[in-house]
Amino acid sequence: MEHSGGCLIYTDGGCVPNPGAGGWAALIIYPDRKVELAGFEPATTNNRMELMAAIQGLRHIPAGSTASVFTDSEYVKNGITTWIPGWRARGWKRKTGVLLNQDLWMELDTLNSTRKITWSWVKGHAGNLNNERVDTLVREQIERRR
């Protein structure tokens, strides 16, 4: 996996059921410490929680920072690295119409454009300890409130 220097950010989000109660988590790994962030929404979707995890992770680091973000969401990875220029050019619309989660995509785009971010996809539930940690944090957020 490519690493751009700076900190590492692992993100995850989920819902039980989907849509339903959701949680998000971000693990930020600095050279000298780790920071865990997590949150809950009572009525949301899996994709919104995946986006919120990435947003919260990037909000935690200052503008101008360098980071490598690792997500197990192809939706987030493809959206921010491939699809977003087209959505922006079309006034935040998909070729086929409405862009779901437009509010979160716009915020993620702003945060991404003011930081030096490398985005990578990691396979979920495949033994990556940092990905497993954010998955656990997500499940804890949901279970604590159900």
Residues involved in catalysis:
12-13, 50, 72, 125, 135
**What DSSP assignment string belongs to the chain?**
----SSEEEEEEEEEETTTEEEEEEEEEE-SS-EEEEEEEEEEE-HHHHHHHHHHHHHHHS-TT-EEEEEES-HHHHHIIIIIHHHHHHTTS-BTTB--TTHHHHHHHHHHHHTSEEEEEE--TTSS-HHHHHHHHHHHHHHHHH-
Q: State the amino acid at position 34 in one-letter form.
A: K
Encode 76-106: b = buried (16+ Cβ within 10 Å), e = exposed.
bbebbeeebeebeeeeeeeeeeebebeebbe
